[in-house]
Amino acid sequence: MRAMILEKIGLLKDNPTPLRLAEVPQPVPGPDEILIRVRVCGVCHTELDEIEGRTPPPKLSAILGHQVVGHVASLGERVEGFRIDDRVGVAWIHSACGQCDFCKSGRENLCLDFRATGRDVPGGYAEYMTVPAAFAYPIPAPFSDSEAAPLLCAGAIGYRSLRLTGIKDGQRLGLTGFGASAHLVLPLVRHVYPRTQIFVFARSESERTFARELGADWAGDTNDEAPKKLDAIIDTTPAWTPIVSALRNLERGGRLVVNAIRKEESDKKSLLDLDYPGHLWSEKEIKSVANVTRNDVRDFLKIAAEIPIRPELQEYALEDANQALMDLRSKSIRGAKVLKVC
282-312: pLDDT as tens digits: 889 999 999 999 999 999 999 999 999 999 9
| Degrees, nearest 5: CA angle 296-300-303 | 145
Please report the domains of the chain, with CATH numbers, ordered by start residue.
2-139+312-340 (3.90.180.10), 155-288 (3.40.50.720)
Nearest partner of 324 among 70, 8, 116, 19, judged by Cα: 19
pLDDT at 25 over 80: yes
What is the total residue count of the chain? 342
Nearest partner of 264 among 233, 242, 284, 280, judged by Cα: 242
Residues 336 and 304: their CA atoms lie apart, in Å, by 16
Percent of the chain with pLDDT over 90: 86
For residues 54-71, give the mean pLDDT: 97
Confidence of residue 325 (pLDDT cuts 50, 70, 90): very high
For residues 236-259, give the mean pLDDT: 92
> Quick one: DSSP state of residue 180?
T
Confidence of residue 276 (pLDDT cuts 50, 70, 90): confident
Q: Count how many Cα atoms sit within 13 Å of the Cα of residue 65 in the half-sphere of its side chain.
A: 35
Confidence of residue 41 (pLDDT cuts 50, 70, 90): very high
Confidence of residue 40 (pLDDT cuts 50, 70, 90): very high
Mean pLDDT score across all residues of the chain = 94
Nearest partner of 174 among 114, 256, 276, 109, judged by Cα: 256
Cis preceding-peptide flag for 332 (omega within 30 of 0)? no
What SS3 state is found at 330?
Answer: helix
For residues 14-40, give the mean pLDDT: 97
pLDDT by residue (tens digit) across 72-104? 999 999 999 999 999 999 999 999 999 999 999
> By the 8 A CB rule, do 331 and 179 touch?
yes
User: Looking at residue 249, what is its pLDDT?
Assistant: 95
User: Looking at residue 114, what is its pLDDT?
Assistant: 97
Four-point Cα dihedral 301, 305, 308, 310, nearest 10: 50
Residues 178 and 104: their CA atoms lie apart, in Å, by 34
pLDDT at 164 over 90: yes
Confidence of residue 180 (pLDDT cuts 50, 70, 90): confident
pLDDT at 275 over 80: no
Regarding predicted confidence, which is higher, 331 or 327?
327
- Between helix 294-306 and helix 182-192 the angle, nearest 10°, is 70
Regarding predicted confidence, which is higher, 334 or 292?
292
Nearest partner of 300 among 112, 162, 168, 204, judged by Cα: 162
Four-point Cα dihedral 189, 190, 194, 197, nearest 10: 80
Q: How many CB atoms lie within 10 A of CB 36?
A: 28
